Structure 1
């Protein structure tokens, strides 16, 4: 019995080590590659920087285009989260706490949205955005991203709202809370972990979005960081060190955001599984 437990633990550690290596190795190569020259990369692709070259990073950090793309990505990510959180929380609250005809059908419709990829709707989406003059507009990216983010957000939020004891809702109703007051004053404060989780997932998903911003934002001044990485890869196709440095700097905000919000993500998803 003890030996099987040890073998199981060793297997889990082995899997964790392999997954960690798959993530860490390319990330380390990208970070260190930005501190090297192209000659170093060609002569020794996996070698240590010798000497260390910081000009690749400093040149990008002094670039106005880079910081403009950071600003554009931040604005779109915040807009997307600002749409997803109230819309998803209201929908999940109603589906979880109130009984009405077709409730499960509505919830099933949202879950089907998880199977609907952005690429399938890209042509009608582009035509619609052009007709309502949202091309080269942050809302032209944020609104579709929010729409495609709603299914997952509702699926994650619903168990949280359902797990809140019925007695809490009854006590609030006795005190005179209507449906919206109950949602605003009781349900939302109790659901901060899952709201934080959805906010992190939405922001990082928007930050990493490439296909939709590439389609909607044709003005270079509106480009986001993923598009900037694509542009610099084409512009400096043979300057591998600069491309690696740009890619590393583009990853830093999302990695920092994940690191700072890791506890919220774990607690939010764990609470959703408990139901």
Structure 2
């Protein structure tokens, strides 16, 4: 004998429990492992940075006696001494100028080149894009000797211009590889509608395409800024005047001058990396969004 179950018309069907698993949510044993790996990676990344920053608040004697301890007492003299050094602010200015000009050049030239590759059909377009992609395989260290001779012939050795120009050139491949998918993903109907409304190609590029490519532009801009700020090999190759040193070279010179004062060297290193660290952290979401958009495109 069966019993009929009456339901109101339009009522939703009750959930059917799977016969293969009990009611309730099954515990996923893979999640704790993923979190453990993430915590290990975060620890490997953050712990050295915290050690450098906290080490600047200690004395060299404290670092020698108890390397892994917290500052006790906290010593602020190391940081104040570095901030009162005129050469530190000169190097901050040089690094800021080089990073800003490099970022502007990379974004401007990169988006113009990516616009042509992504939106126009011409002979050799695929080969040109492949050429920029292959450029990712050649690091700066491979081109040290020819680059040095080229800058010497151009008279750019010893100046920030000799640092900025190669930085822009070596940052263009990754910039174009990231931006081309963004620009290709923009519907052609928008360009047709803008053309019907009387907008020129340049007008479409400036008024419509650039705003829609904001996440990608932010991504390549942040990467170019941080890469320039942290650049060491190129300034070491080009700059020979201490007045033109950027912060990575300043850290080297300072550590050589105060090799016996480890705590002060850690304080200088902390202050040197802090702007790029803060800038990168604040722009992290835009970087991830930009790279995601590039992958989707």
Q: Distance in 2 between matches of 1:254 and 1:273?
A: 25
- CA drift of 1:253 comes to 0.2
- CA drift of 1:134 comes to 1.1
Q: Tell me, yes or no, if structure 1 residue 27 matches structure 2 residue 68.
A: no
Structure with bigger helix share is 1
Counterpart in the other structure of 2:198: 176
Q: Distance in 2 between matches of 1:11 and 1:168?
A: 46
Q: Tell me, yes or no, if structure 1 residue 118 matches structure 2 residue 116.
A: no
What is the count of residue pairs matched by the alignment?
274
- CA drift of 1:159 comes to 0.7
Q: Distance in 1 between matches of 2:253 and 2:236?
A: 11
The alignment's C-alpha RMSD in Å is: 1.3
Question: Residue by residue, what CA displacement relative to the aligned partner does 1:161-182 show, whole Å, maximum 9, x if unpaired?
Answer: 0111111011112223332222
Residues 76, 142 of structure 1: 8 Å contact kept: yes
Counterpart in the other structure of 2:40: 18
Query: Greater shift after overlay, 15-24 or 130-139?
Result: 130-139
Counterpart in the other structure of 1:158: 180
Question: Residue by residue, what CA displacement relative to the aligned partner does 1:50-77 show, whole Å, maximum 9, x if unpaired?
Answer: 1111111000001111111000000000
Q: Tell me, yes or no, if structure 1 residue 131 matches structure 2 residue 156.
A: no
Q: Tell me, yes or no, if structure 1 residue 67 matches structure 2 residue 89.
A: yes
Matched position secondary structure for 2:231: coil
Counterpart in the other structure of 1:38: 60
Question: Residue by residue, what CA displacement relative to the aligned partner does 1:180-231 show, whole Å, maximum 9, x if unpaired?
Answer: 2221221111111111111111000000000000111110000000011111
Q: Tell me, yes or no, if structure 1 residue 264 matches structure 2 residue 286.
A: yes
Q: Tell me, yes or no, if structure 1 residue 211 matches structure 2 residue 194.
A: no
Q: Tell me, yes or no, if structure 1 residue 187 matches structure 2 residue 246.
A: no
TM-score by length of 1: 0.96
Counterpart in the other structure of 2:252: 230
Q: Distance in 1 between matches of 2:143 and 2:296?
A: 34
Query: Greater shift after overlay, 69-78 or 117-126?
Result: 117-126
TM-score by length of 2: 0.89
In the alignment, structure 2 segments of 5+ residues that lack a partner are: 1-20
Residues 36, 241 of structure 1: 8 Å contact kept: yes
Q: Distance in 2 between matches of 1:136 and 1:183?
A: 37
Question: Residue by residue, what CA displacement relative to the aligned partner does 1:9-43 show, whole Å, maximum 9, x if unpaired?
Answer: 21221111011100111111111111111111111
Residues 79, 139 of structure 1: 8 Å contact kept: no
Q: Distance in 2 between matches of 1:21 and 1:33?
A: 17
In the alignment, structure 1 segments of 5+ residues that lack a partner are: none
